[in-house]
């Protein structure tokens, strides 16, 4: 065999051995680290690596927290066609985390909690009331808003001079609450003797109050105020009783294991209170008659 043939055979044999050998990981070159490597290997790095913050939200409308835009452009994506306090807050959180915002819709508020508990969403931001039952499944951030339990009462059903929380707790009373919301549980606790009627449609529930098919609807003060502003013609039949001694704290829901994200969100909520961002956002969505800032 010639020297050239021997050399060729050796090259072929070495190439075959190289291809058959398991690949050896090569050390990363300087500057090739992930942009997320500075984060601790926990929840914040997971969100950073995914490039998005998945936020669970109830699919229905709860203005001014979240609602469809009245004059949505045909070219917008479905989520771009929504607006509200909670939506602006979620988008700002994603922006400050440096990731995209993605929404995952739920059929009820309790399902929002379940999506977070089962890691189908990173965060639940959906006008969620903090309750003991929900706290068995998820962690909650500091409250970002406090509202109050409110009764919207048929004016013929309860004497104005009496406490409706006492007067309506009777077997003949019918009190409506939105199905899948915390107010079903609140109503059962506050009015154990009354009939609690679940509703899927808020406006239908309040129409039944106005027409005396229900004695009252049990809601939060923010939703009650929005309804009163939108339905002044029905206020001759319906009055509001806001229970200032019964607070309803709204907060962000997180998976129980996401402790770093919880600490970051609590710091974020403190910071937007301190720099006035929270107050400006509240004024934009809740103060009637205030001129909305340009977008």
Q: What share of the chain is helix, strand, coil (3-state, %, to 5)?
A: 40, 20, 40
Helix/strand number for the chain, H first, E second? 10, 12
Give the pLDDT of residue 74. 56
CA distance to 80, 104, 199, per residue, from 100 (Å): 13, 13, 35
Domain covering 147-248: architecture: 3-Layer(aba) Sandwich (3.40)
pLDDT tens, 205-219? 999 999 999 999 999
Given strand 145-154, what is the order of strands in its sheet? Answer: 195-199, 174-178, 216-220, 145-154, 238-250
How confident is the model over 146-152, as a mean pLDDT?
96
What global pTM score does this model have? 0.79
Give the pLDDT of residue 75. 59
Rounded to an integer, what distance in angstroms lies between the CA atom of residue 244 and that of residue 234?
24
Q: pLDDT band at 81, cuts 50/70/90? A: confident
| For the chain, domain boundaries | 43-144+251-286, 147-248
Q: pLDDT band at 14, cuts 50/70/90? A: very low
Which option is the CATH number for 43-144+251-286: 3.40.190.10, 3.30.70.270, 3.40.640.10, 3.40.1180.10? 3.40.190.10
């Amino acid at each position: 065999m010639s020297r050239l043939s021997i050399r060729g055979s050796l090259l072929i044999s070495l190439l075959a051995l190289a291809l058959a050998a398991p690949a050896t990981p090569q050390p990363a070159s300087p500057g090739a680290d992930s942009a997320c490597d500075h984060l601790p290997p926990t929840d914040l790095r997971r969100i950073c690596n995914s490039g998005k913050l998945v936020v669970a939200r109830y699919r229905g409308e709860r203005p001014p927290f979240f609602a469809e835009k009245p004059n949505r452009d045909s070219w917008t994506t479905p989520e771009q066609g929504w607006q509200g306090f909670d939506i602006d807050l979620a988008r700002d959180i994603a922006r400050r985390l440096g990731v995209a915002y993605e929404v995952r819709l739920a059929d009820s508020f309790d399902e929002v909690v379940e999506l977070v508990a089962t890691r189908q969403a990173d965060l639940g931001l959906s006008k969620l009331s903090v309750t003991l039952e929900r706290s068995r499944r998820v962690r909650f951030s500091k409250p970002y808003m406090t509202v109050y339990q409110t009764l919207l009462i048929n004016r013929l059903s309860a004497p104005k001079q009496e406490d409706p929380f006492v007067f309506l707790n009777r077997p003949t009373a019918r009190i409506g609450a939105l199905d899948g919301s915390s107010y079903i549980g609140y109503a059962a606790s506050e009015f154990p003797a009354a009939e609690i009627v679940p509703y899927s449609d808020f406006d239908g529930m309040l129409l039944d109050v106005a027409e005396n098919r229900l004695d009252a609807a049990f809601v939060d003060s923010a939703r009650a105020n929005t309804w009163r502003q939108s339905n002044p013609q029905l206020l001759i039949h319906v009055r509001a009783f806001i229970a200032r001694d019964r607070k309803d704290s709204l907060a962000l829901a997180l998976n129980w294991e996401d402790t770093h994200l919880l600490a970051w969100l609590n710091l974020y909520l403190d910071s937007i209170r301190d720099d006035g961002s929270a107050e400006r956002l509240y004024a934009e969505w809740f103060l009637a008659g205030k001129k909305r800032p340009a977008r």
